[in-house]
Amino acid sequence: MSESKYREWILDTIDSLRSRKARPDLDRICRMVRRRHGSEPDRTCAELEKLIQEQTVLKVNYKGSISYRNAAKVQRRSRKKDDVSAALTAAARRSAVEEASHSDLSNGDSALGAAEQDDDELEGDPIMAMDTDSNADEEGADESQDGQDRPSPSGHTYEDAAVHCVAVRAVSAPSSPSGTRPALNSVAGPGTGLDCVSFQKAGERPSSLPPSSPRALTNNDWAYDSTVCPAEHQHPGTQKEKEAATKPAVQPVTSSPSAVKNNTKKEDGAKVEDSSRLSDQLVPDYAARVEESKNGPDGRPQTLSPPADNNSPMKKNSDESPFKKAEESLVNGDNGDDVSVKKEKMSQNLLQWSVADVASYFSAAGFPEQAVAFRTQEIDGKSLLLMQRSDVLTGLSIRLGPALKIYERHVKVLQRTHFLEYEDL
């Protein structure tokens, strides 16, 4: 079965569920896909995860339970402001209020942040992110403490699938101890999606942590990620009670399955931080993951080692390309100061990247086709630094999916890194 097929099925299913006013949750989606197409829940779950990562589907925590949205249909509700902060403000405000009113996390709907398609910045990214979950606080605690799984209304039929997802995620999502989300307020400008999401509560950011603090948003991103499915299993009890209170509860974000309990039970302090951090909306778990994977120990973004081009400036450092070193250091767990030095070099080098360097970089990053577009558009390091989201999404005439990934995972990261260095100077 092709992925596109699944994409279609899943999106159709979500749309269908929505149209009949049923919550598009994992259970229903799996059930409907199986009924309609005979696809196994496990597979559906896996595909759904992919779609979430692709941001084709948004996973949101709405009223205490996970829902899935068709990203293409989630329109920004009212975000008009251009800057991220503004965009986030609403969500942040909402969640803040809700949190304040009850210890639960609540989040309105995360869909709220949904993808924006046109605005330059806010857009999509952020939101797409989808996952809204937010925190792990109480619910997480409840979950782990009560040890109850959320019975699927229809009878757990698909719990297994959900569980599977968890397992899968747990495996694929390292608890990234050192990784973190890059500076939230990206240099890329206000409104860079993912950041936005994570920042929605900028004002509530863990006090001691700077927006760009590596520690900010680390575990939770992962946590959420890995617990997405578990979220589906919330126990009815608490869930109901919470809902009864008419408060949208934000899901607890827990970390990997094995860590879930530990985190929810042990790290109360951490949870507090986490919850305030993610308390609301869409947390691009996927993006977070991606970024985390790229972030260095210090939380600064790390990038791939661009393939040194023979004529490029980078070639000079081919053997000790800053990228390479940084990457290696990451791999080796090297947290030394030289990482920052290396990054500095990297950013400096960015200005020296030639069109070929840029193309090589993206090619090496797994976007060979898109690399051609960069080359065609003669994007060199300087141009890359000036690129905005819309430029990447629409200016290169490349497919939206890869474009989003390229922008979020690479362009933004590179820009951020560069500007951070610049600021430091």
Partner DNA sequence: TAATGCGCACCCC
Partner DNA sequence: GGGGTGCGCATTA
Amino acid identity, position 155 = G
Non-local CB neighbours of 41 within 8 Å, separated by 6+ positions? 30, 31, 33, 34, 157, 158, 160, 161
Q: Are residues 153 and 349 in contact, defined by beta-carbon separation less than 8 angstroms?
A: no
Question: What are the two backbone dihedrals, phi and then psi, of residue 166, each rounded to the nearest 5 degrees?
Answer: -60, -50
Measured CA to CA, the distance from residue 309 to residue 103 in angstroms comes to 54
- Which residue, 148, 131, 142, 291, is CA-closest to 227? 131
- Touching DNA, residues 53-112 (CB under 7 A): 60, 62-63, 65, 67, 69, 74-75, 77-78, 90-91, 93-94, 97-98, 108-109, 111-112
- Shortest gap between Cβ of 340 and DNA (angstroms)? 38
Stretch that binds DNA, among 31-39, 184-192, 260-268, 365-373 (CB under 7 A): 31-39
Task: Give the span between the Cα atoms of 251 and 245, in whole angstroms.
Answer: 15
Whichever of 12 and 328 has its CB closer to DNA, that residue is: 12
Nearer to DNA, 241 or 328 (CB): 241
Contacts (CB under 7 A) with DNA, residues 183-242: 240
* Nearer to DNA (CB atom), residue 35 or residue 266: 35
The DSSP result for 302-323, as a single string, is: ----PPPPTTSHHHHTGGG-HH
Q: Which of 21, 38, 331, 337 binds DNA (CB under 7 A)?
A: 21
32 binds DNA (CB under 7 A): yes
Binders of DNA in range 232-271 (CB under 7 A): 240, 243, 246-248
Cβ nearer to DNA, comparing 93 with 235? 93
Considering CB under 7 A, how many residues would be counted as binding DNA? Answer: 38
- Interface segment toward DNA; rule CB under 7 A; list 17-25, 136-144, 339-347, 417-425: 17-25
Task: Report the residue number, 62 or 222, with the smaller CB distance to DNA.
Answer: 62
Residue 68 β-bridge partners:
59
Of 9, 11, 24, 264, which lies in the binding site for DNA, with binding defined by CB under 7 A? 24
Query: Of the ranges 20-28, 182-190, 253-261, 359-367, which one interacts with DNA (CB under 7 A)?
Result: 20-28
Is residue 31 a contact point for DNA (CB under 7 A)? yes
Binding of DNA at residue 16 (CB under 7 A)? yes
In our burial notation (b when 16+ CB lie closer than 10 A, e otherwise), range 87-120 reads bbbbbbebbbebbeebebbbbbbbbbbbbbeebb
Residue among 167 and 245 whose Cβ is closer to DNA:
245
Beta carbons within 8 Å of 5's beta carbon, 6+ residues apart: none
> CB-wise, 60 or 330, nearer to DNA?
60
What is the closest distance, in whole angstroms, from the C-beta atom of residue 98 to DNA in the complex? 6
What Rg value do the Cα atoms of the chain yield, rounded?
21
Shortest Å, Cβ 112 to DNA: 7
Count CB-CB contacts under 10 A for residue 160.
13
3-state secondary structure of 120: coil
Distance CA 421, CA 341 (A): 10
Which residues of this protein are in contact with DNA, per CB under 7 A? 16, 18-24, 31-32, 35, 60, 62-63, 65, 67, 69, 74-75, 77-78, 90-91, 93-94, 97-98, 108-109, 111-112, 154-155, 240, 243, 246-248
